[in-house]
Amino acid sequence: MGGFARPGPILKSKATRIERPPKARRGEARPGKAARPLQGGADRTRCTELLPPPCRVPWGGEAAPRAPPVSAAALSCRRYVAGGQCKSTAKLEGKVVIITGANTGIGKETARDLARRGARVIVACRDVAKGEAAASEIRADTGNQQVIVKKVDLADTKSIREFAEKFLAEEKELHILINNAGIMLCPYSKTADGFEMHLGVNHLGHFLLTFLLLERLKQSAPARIVNVSSLAHHGGRIRFHDLHGEKSYNRGLAYCHSKLANVLFTRELARRLQGTKVTANALHPGCVHSELVQHSFVMTWLWNTFSFLLKTPQEGAQTSVYCAVAEELDSVTGQYFSDCQPAYVSPRGRDDETAKKLWSMSCELLGIQWD
């Protein structure tokens, strides 16, 4: 009977057997696969060479974790904290600039920016060694060798007068004066002349310096005076009955009082300089991660802990630079700026009678006549 024959047994032969690759030893790679890095041992370098470039690690180390992606919200927050930027491209070749406290913080970054624009920058500071280090860094960074350090101690009127005398003897022009130096949250102390330290350094020192240099500014006009104040002026008041805090003292409020004095000084100075082509404006640099809070352990801890919510010194310098160079401010005077735009001034900062009284008392304390 016809049909299919019954199949016989299937014979396995060596020719048809599928050979599996030998099991890879620890540290070796299977074909088509990368070896896993070892925790250590003599074969570590050889094994990691089989890994793709992003996974390779140095001898004895572990693969660095990839940075987590930065969220759009975080970037947006950081841009908000950074604030406004000075977009002016003005050049300052042939211009002479004085910046007090330019050995650190926003003063140093302001000096760097203006030096990059070609200005001759006078770094006026108390710590000459620190000033020379900052000036050397700025010269190397900008290629501008006209960055000069001069000693001035704003807590000593004798030092201020000596600085001004030497400057006037050596420099024939002055186009920009930036009263930047300041102190904050100091324990109660007095200057060499007996003034409460915040009032003496932040206000009276710059008041006297401006007085001594004003004629040179007028001769060099158009010229600008820039006073670095603070948002803290909103919490200040001029306590004429206790200017030096001898009856009661709070170091936080003392700072606020001195910053209000900056705003009032700017307002009255601008009024008196009308028609001279010398302008005067004040500004708030923002909350900046700098050495300003060094006298307070708590504030220093907060500044370091929440530094991501603070401006860098370079960001904090933007409004100072803006007030110094922006073409649109050529004839603007007596104003207060923040983030490179006009900002709100407290009612006490707009009190003309208080400004005039503070002016008169400042002249009396310093022994000068400035009419």
The answer to whether the beta carbons of residues 144 and 96 sit under 8 Å apart is: no
Which residue out of 80, 188, 249, 255 is catalytically annotated?
Answer: 255
Strands (E) in the chain, as ranges, are 96-100, 120-125, 147-151, 176-179, 223-228, 278-284, 336-338, 341-342
Q: How far apart are CA 77 and CA 54, in angstroms?
A: 30
Q: How far apart are CA 273 and CA 253, in angstroms?
A: 30
> For residue 176, what are the β-bridge partners?
97, 224
For 79-100, b where at least 16 C-beta lie within 10 A, e where not — what string? eeebbeebebeeebeebbbbbb
As given in the structure block, the two tokens for residue 112 are: 């760097």
Strands (E) in 114-262, as ranges, are 120-125, 147-151, 176-179, 223-228
Q: How far apart are CA 325 and CA 87, in angstroms?
A: 10
CA distances from 215 to 210, 257, 361 (A): 9, 28, 22
> For residue 202, what are the β-bridge partners?
none
The alpha helices in 234-329, defined as continuous H runs, are 251-272, 297-305, 313-316, 318-325
Catalytic residue status for 249: no
Q: Which of 214, 248, 251, 224 is nearest to 235 (CA)?
A: 251
Q: Read off the DSSP letter of residue 22.
A: P
As annotated, the active-site residues are 255
